[in-house]
Structure 1
Amino acid sequence: MTSRRRFLKHSVASLAGAGLFGAFGNLRVLAAAANQYVFPAGDFKALVCVYLNGGNDSFNSIVPYSTQAYADYRSSRTVLIANGGLAFDQATLAANALNPLAASGGLPGGLPSDGASYGAHPALAELRGLFNSGQAAIIANVGTLLHPTSQAAYQNGSVAVPPQLFSHSDQTTYWQTSRPDDANANGWGGRIADRMQAANTGAIPVCISLSNNNLFQRGDVVDNYSVSPSGVEKMSYLGGGPESWVIGAPGQNQAGIAAWDALLTEGSQQHVFERTYADRARSAVASYGIVDAALSAAPPLATPFPDSSLGAQLRMAARLIQVRGALGMARQIFYVSVGNYDTHNYQVDHQHDNLAQLSQALAAFHAATVELGVAGSVTAFTASDFGRSLASNGDGTDHGWGGHHFVVGGAVRGQRFYGRMPSLRANNNPDETGFGQIIPTTALDQYAATLAAWFGVSAGDIADIFPALSRFDTPNLGFMG
């Protein structure tokens, strides 16, 4: 037993994506999961969370160029990029317009809330094209909120605000769980998956991560299944095939194989932790065979993807959507992520490269969903730790709060801005904390609940998944058709 426990201790990390939280799920969530969702044949949907680690500066991603709004933006960013500072010039923004009024006759949803015209960062050419063709929308000034919060309320402390604002780890946890009141909270994607797993006929979990474990997909009934962007991977000591964990392979550590075999033999474990580990390991091995066979049988995608980390992750997500039928999937939730968004003094160069990668990869992914005939059934959305501060520190920005986000897909009511655009002026700005961070006017819960409703989650389950939603006037923002 001692040697088995030592082996277990050193091996637990090898179960890619096979979390152990399911053994300790609470009864309320298990009961909710028993309310099985059943969808008609062919009713497939997928959500794809694109997490930008570090906090993207969305105020230099989506930028006003009409006269007064641009003057406000310019006042907070001081020096033009051409001169080594942070702000874009008006001509650059106008050339990258997100609302080409002369060409389109006006945005279908009208101008943004502030009546300004906006352009995109030059590196976002592909996303700008998706927006202008109606395949993408911008959700304005989203952030973590416990209650609707004004500048006065923030400064006098009359409403509670999220704990540890401006902290990467704490705000990532909030963005991925929407539950700052619970240190052990599961992710909101995982809570959706707990209720949806029974809708799938196959054994593969609803949640598939292309970027290792994450809080967003952690549930009580379901946890994420991790797949490498290059394909499913066997555990390092599994040998040449899915069955070799039982029979071993020449040259492998035979004592280790014997210990592994004993650990995984069904019904032989005496401790709940060991039984849970064994169940998940057997499931991981079985899933490897199923997913690998499905991917191997599928024809290659014709859509080219960029040679980047995010491009590789989204390409594999597209391939897993392609084999949804073989996997028995009616619902899928994917997680992809990319880093380097905590730009500080390196924002000018780093953000250009970051946003180019994002734009190219999301455009290729959307094109692949068109190729597969599922563009209206797949929605990708961005998320990040927080926005950035308004003030420039020369050629970068610091940790902020609210920020804008993209939603992409055939079901998106695109070429529209949703929510309230904040003022970007440097002085006497009613929309910031007093220290340069923009106060969100759209709650994360509203953003997430709108996606959940499109995904097919019932109103009652949405209220349970997002308990703070009732504090906000608009539970559904309307950006999904």
Structure 2
Amino acid sequence: MTVNRREFLRRCIHSAIGGASIYSAFGGLRLIESAAAAQLGSFPDYRALVCIFLYGGNDSFNMIVPSDPPHYSTYQATRRGLAIDRERLRALSPLNDGLPGDGAHYGLHENMPELADLFNAGHAAVIANVGTLQYPITAAQYQAGTVPSPLQLFSHGEQTTFWQTSRVDDVKANGWGGRIADLLHPGNPNQQLTMSISLFGDNQFQRGDNVPQYVMSHQGVKPLEYEERESATANAVFNALATEAPQHHVFERAFTNAMRRSMSNYALINSGLQAATDFPAFPTSELGLQLKMVARLISARNTLNMRRQVFFVALPGLDHHNGQLTAHAPILEDLSRSLKAFYDATVAMGVQNSVTAYTTSEFGRSTSINGDGTDHGWGGHHFVVGGAVRGRRFYGRMPSLASTNNPDDTGYGQIIPTLAVDQYAATIARWFGVNNSGISDIFPNLGRFATADLGFLS
């Protein structure tokens, strides 16, 4: 096996420090830059990212629907029995410099009036036809196989990985949220508390080398507990591993560090939540309660002494191969109501310009239908919500929904993305405080695409 110079250096460093990583999966050695970042001091302002992952593959083509007669007729002919009633759509009114690029008018699913209001008030934007890409690719190139496309397209697992890491060329890469946290964490005054908090379990998006994700529930944090064992020796070993005494073995050190970090995060977060604001207006749904806890943690930002935070929440259950009309509608309602409640909470705290929430999903759905459902797709539309969003605009180009002779279709009803996850993520990262050098390291494939900053955040 051939080992290049970068891989040789990485292995040497890992061996020398017993597995503790200063090498990041975003493509470079970060020791010098991390030290430099620490010397810059803390950020003067507060900012938070809230990633909302829609697990299963959201059908954004039934979420954002053309409403003018010609384009709606094309959509209706393709979607047939799954077409949303045109008269019940919630109209979107984009600004002249933010039109969708295809000459169509659009509305949201009837169950999303809150999100339509946020868009029309300038607090939300549509990012059109985003997906995992190695390079820009056309239908002809895809069908001829002349331009590489991501591995295992249309697979839940792999496409979730690629969306959460943005690295379609590296299945072992850390998440792009984790890579951002690794780079910017030294800018937090309280470096004892991780800046990556998940309300929906362990995820790849927040996985980093130096900044761990802290997983908690919407009910709050629980202390680390273990069951006393009958064996005095077993109890002694557990207690020894949890102490601050030097540990000689690499696995002992890893276990000890994880235990101490968990206990420290519990104490810090629990203390912050004691003084956190309660927000009774949130829906009592799974997503609503997750976002409510995020709002409470943001309200405790000064108590926790945090300037940058990355949150992860999720809404599952979107793999609608059948029964889609019935199953999809309440999920979209939940997303709309929860996002509106969250935005209102940030306004109440006076941090709406400092908090950006955005949707992600492993893929869109096929424009074609299979009975009363849809199949796995590729590109899809997403929302970005917050006071810093340059709202009432569509970013990117809305694709054709024609069932035949469609230049945006792989040939099987899967829409080819015209914006890469890299572009979407890099725009968010830049607003969050990552400089040009960091953007290049975190998103090494970004230069393959025409626009590095899509401009939806100011």
Instruction: Specify if TM > 0.5.
Output: yes
Residue 292 of structure 1 is matched in structure 2 by: 270
Residue 222 of structure 2 is matched in structure 1 by: 233
Residue 323 of structure 2 is matched in structure 1 by: 346
* SS of residue in 2 equivalent to 1:116: coil
Instruction: Note if contact 1:304-1:364 (Cα within 8 Å) is conserved in structure 2.
Output: yes
Residue 92 of structure 2 is matched in structure 1 by: 98
Return the alpha-carbon distance in structure 2 between the equivalents of residues 110 and 201 of structure 1: 38
* SS of residue in 2 equivalent to 1:186: coil
1:162 and 2:150 correspond: yes
1:453 and 2:455 correspond: no
Return the alpha-carbon distance in structure 2 between the equivalents of residues 311 and 398 of structure 1: 27
Residue identity matched to 1:260: F
Residue identity matched to 1:144: T
Alignment of 1:286-365 (within 5 A): 286-298=264-276, 300-365=277-342
Stretches (4+) displaced over 4 A: 37-42, 251-257
Return the alpha-carbon distance in structure 2 between the equivalents of residues 41 and 34 of structure 1: 15
1:89 and 2:113 correspond: no
Residue 46 of structure 1 is matched in structure 2 by: 48
Q: Any stretches of 5+ residues in structure 2 without a counterpart?
A: 1-17
* SS of residue in 1 equivalent to 2:384: strand
Residue 8 of structure 1 is matched in structure 2 by: none
Return the alpha-carbon distance in structure 2 between the equivalents of residues 254 and 367 of structure 1: 53
Alignment of 1:34-433 (within 5 A): 34-36=35-37, 38=40, 42-78=44-80, 85-93=81-89, 96-99=90-93, 107-202=95-190, 203-237=192-226, 257-298=235-276, 300-433=277-410
Return the alpha-carbon distance in structure 2 between the equivalents of residues 260 and 417 of structure 1: 55
Task: Provide TM-score, normalisation by structure 1.
Answer: 0.87
Q: Quote the offset at 1:124 in angstroms.
A: 1.3
Q: Quote the offset at 1:267 in angstroms.
A: 3.1
Residue 9 of structure 1 is matched in structure 2 by: none
Residue 23 of structure 1 is matched in structure 2 by: 20
Q: Quote the offset at 1:253 in angstroms.
A: 8.6
Residue 442 of structure 1 is matched in structure 2 by: 419
1:401-454: CA deviation from partner (whole Å, max 9, x where unpaired): 000000000000001100010000111111100111000001100000000010
* SS of residue in 1 equivalent to 2:281: coil
Return the alpha-carbon distance in structure 2 between the equivalents of residues 253 and 371 of structure 1: 53
1:281-310: CA deviation from partner (whole Å, max 9, x where unpaired): 112112211111111123x33451100111
Q: Quote the offset at 1:269 in angstroms.
A: 2.4
Return the alpha-carbon distance in structure 1 between the equivalents of residues 66 and 86 of structure 2: 8
Return the alpha-carbon distance in structure 1 between the equivalents of residues 451 and 162 of structure 2: 20
Return the alpha-carbon distance in structure 1 between the equivalents of residues 270 and 231 of structure 2: 25
| Alpha carbons of structure 1 residues 182 and 25: separation in structure 2 relative to 1, 3 Å | farther
Instruction: Note if contact 2:282-2:342 (Cα within 8 Å) is conserved in structure 1.
Output: yes
Instruction: Note if contact 2:162-2:171 (Cα within 8 Å) is conserved in structure 1.
Output: no
Task: Provide TM-score, normalisation by structure 2.
Answer: 0.91
Q: Any stretches of 5+ residues in structure 1 without a counterpart?
A: 1-20, 79-84, 100-105, 239-247
Instruction: Note if contact 1:29-1:220 (Cα within 8 Å) is conserved in structure 2.
Output: no
Cα RMSD after superposing both structures: 1.9
Q: Quote the offset at 1:131 in angstroms.
A: 0.5
User: How many equivalent residue pairs?
Assistant: 435
Q: Which moved more, 1:420-429 or 1:39-48?
A: 39-48
Q: Quote the offset at 1:279 in angstroms.
A: 1.3
| Alpha carbons of structure 1 residues 155 and 280: separation in structure 2 relative to 1, 3 Å | same
Return the alpha-carbon distance in structure 2 between the equivalents of residues 306 and 458 of structure 1: 37
Q: Quote the offset at 1:234 in angstroms.
A: 1.2
Q: Quote the offset at 1:40 in angstroms.
A: 6.8
1:43-96: CA deviation from partner (whole Å, max 9, x where unpaired): 110000000000000000000011221111111112xxxxxx200232122xx1
* SS of residue in 1 equivalent to 2:346: helix
Return the alpha-carbon distance in structure 2 between the equivalents of residues 39 and 435 of structure 1: 52
* SS of residue in 2 equivalent to 1:76: helix
| Alpha carbons of structure 1 residues 296 and 470: separation in structure 2 relative to 1, 3 Å | same
Residue identity matched to 1:86: L
Residue identity matched to 1:229: H
* SS of residue in 2 equivalent to 1:109: helix
Return the alpha-carbon distance in structure 1 between the equivalents of residues 106 and 92 of structure 2: 6
Residue 3 of structure 1 is matched in structure 2 by: none
Return the alpha-carbon distance in structure 1 between the equivalents of residues 171 and 106 of structure 2: 39
| Alpha carbons of structure 1 residues 280 and 439: separation in structure 2 relative to 1, 3 Å | same
Return the alpha-carbon distance in structure 2 between the equivalents of residues 26 and 140 of structure 1: 34
| Alpha carbons of structure 1 residues 260 and 452: separation in structure 2 relative to 1, 3 Å | same
Instruction: Note if contact 2:409-2:416 (Cα within 8 Å) is conserved in structure 1.
Output: yes
* SS of residue in 1 equivalent to 2:369: coil
| Alpha carbons of structure 1 residues 153 and 200: separation in structure 2 relative to 1, 3 Å | same
* SS of residue in 1 equivalent to 2:237: helix
Residue identity matched to 1:232: V
| Alpha carbons of structure 1 residues 447 and 237: separation in structure 2 relative to 1, 3 Å | same
